Amino acid sequence: MNPLNHVAIIMDGNGRWGLKRYNSRNRGHRAGLDTIEKIVRTSIDHNIKFLTLFAFSTENWKRPKSEINYLFDLLENFLKIKLNQFHKNNIKLKIIGQRKFSKKLNKLLSNSEKVTNRNTGLQLNIALNYGSRIEIINSIKKINKKKLSVTEDNINKNLYTKNIPDPDILIRTGKTRRLSNFLLWQLSYTEIFFSNKLWPDFNERNYTDIIKKYRNIKRNFGEV
């Protein structure tokens, strides 16, 4: 049985779900929050150490302003309401991505990390304004600035994900089979699962089924 430390998820399909049911993409984003709660709980039940959720990509700025504003309001409220509960559940929050938000949001994000910093349970990484290519570019820039050599180890140490092991599982919901600039470096040996369910419809059963399948995969890492 494979050990399982880190699950990464591309939470896709909110917009289509909302459009189909309520003729509103934003309703889908709101519904997606319930799935996040379910998946966090199930991750704790399975003793998973790291859960990384793709919440907003560097490319998602191309969306209509009204949708972007809605997404950030949703995140802000979610964090405010859930922070206590996360803290009580021993969850450590970490935001990965380029921190270029309003002063207010920056403060909320830093505070959420600070409050939960000493927690020893699940580490919940939220990828926000995250893009893998810019992450890799910035890592190499930092290495050059420190006059270090460009090695695999040094690149790892200068990514947003330093100190986080590579994901064992990547899940993308929403019928689409692509990586959309998510953790390109870190996913080199990750087991990838695509689900046809739209994110608001994805549930504990679907998640547990993927974990069960993963446990029995023969992971070679280049060996035979």
**Interface with ligand IPE, residue 12, by CB under 6 A:** yes
Pick from 26, 50, 56, 105: which binds ligand IPE (CB under 6 A)? Answer: 56
Q: How buried is residue 6: exposed, middle or buried, by Cβ count under 10 Å (0-12/13-18/19+)?
A: buried
Helix (H) / strand (E) element for 153: namely helix 152-157
Sheet containing 92-96: order of strands = 92-96, 123-130, 50-57, 6-10, 169-172, 191-194
* β-bridge pairing 50-57 and 123-130: parallel
**Interface with Mg ion, residue 29, by CB under 5 A:** no
Name which of ligand IPE, Mg ion, none residue 183 binds, using a CB cut-off of 5 to 8 Å depending on partner kind: none
Whether 23 is catalytic? no
Shorter beta-carbon distance to ligand IPE: residue 44 or 74: 74
Name which of Mg ion, ligand IPE, none residue 170 binds, using a CB cut-off of 5 to 8 Å depending on partner kind: none
Whether 129 is catalytic? no
Residues 6+ apart with CB under 8 A from 47: 4
Pick from 12, 30, 159, 210: which binds Mg ion (CB under 5 A)? Answer: 12
Shorter beta-carbon distance to ligand IPE: residue 57 or 123: 57
Pick from 6, 13, 33, 116: which binds ligand IPE (CB under 6 A)? Answer: 13
**Interface with Mg ion, residue 168, by CB under 5 A:** no
**Interface with ligand IPE, residue 183, by CB under 6 A:** no
Degrees (nearest 5) of the Cα angle 144, 149, 155? 75
Q: Which of 2, 5, 14, 60 is catalytic?
A: 60
Pick from 31, 43, 51, 54: which binds ligand IPE (CB under 6 A)? Answer: 54
Closest by CA position to 81, among listed 27, 117, 30, 24: 30
User: Tokens 């909302």 identify what position?
Assistant: 18
Provide the binding-site residues for ligand IPE, judged by CB under 6 A. 10-16, 29, 54-57, 60, 71, 174, 176, 178, 180
User: Which are the catalytic amino acids?
Assistant: 12, 60
